[in-house]
Amino acid sequence: MPAGASLTNPPSPRPQRLFFALWPDKEAARALHHAGRELQAACGGRLTRLATVHLTLVFLGEVAPEKIPRLERAAASVREEAFSINFNRYGWWKHNRIVWAMPEETPPPLRRLVQGLETALEQAGISCDKRPYVPHVTLLRKAERRPQGEGLPGAAWAAREFVLVRSVLDREGAAYEVIGRWSLREEAESQSASS
């Protein structure tokens, strides 16, 4: 499918819960899921399903279906370079009992991608969550205890595209459906664009 092509199904008349994300390759998803399973033995809680492991870029919340084409145009206007990200730390948020993985250092292209999306959405008149960005992948929900230590064996993936995702509740919790995807620029493409 060409870069920027929409995978949107016919819209439901009801608002849809949407977010932009990076989706890991299978190897990185398995490594993060495995780390979550090991932490679950020490922390308790509910393990994130392998199929739903992701890194949220911008959370949109409930969006009317007629706004989806504006979202897609905003996303298509964002041009950022591809990058690699390594999740090698974990921690937890006591207030919502979530155990998460995060990179020790946030790659600058990731921060620029988030800022670019927020700016494009604002220019399109679409509101989004404006909290300070903390890149993290949720490993466990409803954890009973804080994990001991902070080091994670590491789960790296090469971010080559970002996606627009619809969250749908099913019997097992939230299921995610990718409804649009956009490529990030490869290094050679980035260099030719700047010269």
Nearest CA among 25, 9, 28 for reference residue 156: 28
**What are the pLDDT digits (tens) for 82-104?**
999 999 998 889 999 999 999 98
| Residue that is written with structure tokens 């911008």 in the block | 58
Residue 53 one-letter amino acid: V
pLDDT, averaged per 10 consecutive residues of the chain (195 residues), comes to: 48 82 94 92 93 95 93 96 93 91 93 96 89 92 85 83 91 85 77 47
Helix 68-76 × helix 108-123 angle, to 10° = 140
Question: Rounded CA gap, 111 and 136, in Å?
Answer: 13
* 136: annotated active-site residue: yes
Looking at the domain covering 16-189, what would its CATH class be?
Answer: alpha beta
Question: Catalytic one among 33, 34, 54, 95?
Answer: 54
Residue 115 backbone phi and psi in degrees, to 5: -65, -40
Q: What pLDDT does 81 receive?
A: 96
DSSP 193: H
Question: Catalytic one among 33, 34, 95, 136?
Answer: 136
pTM of the shown model: 0.85
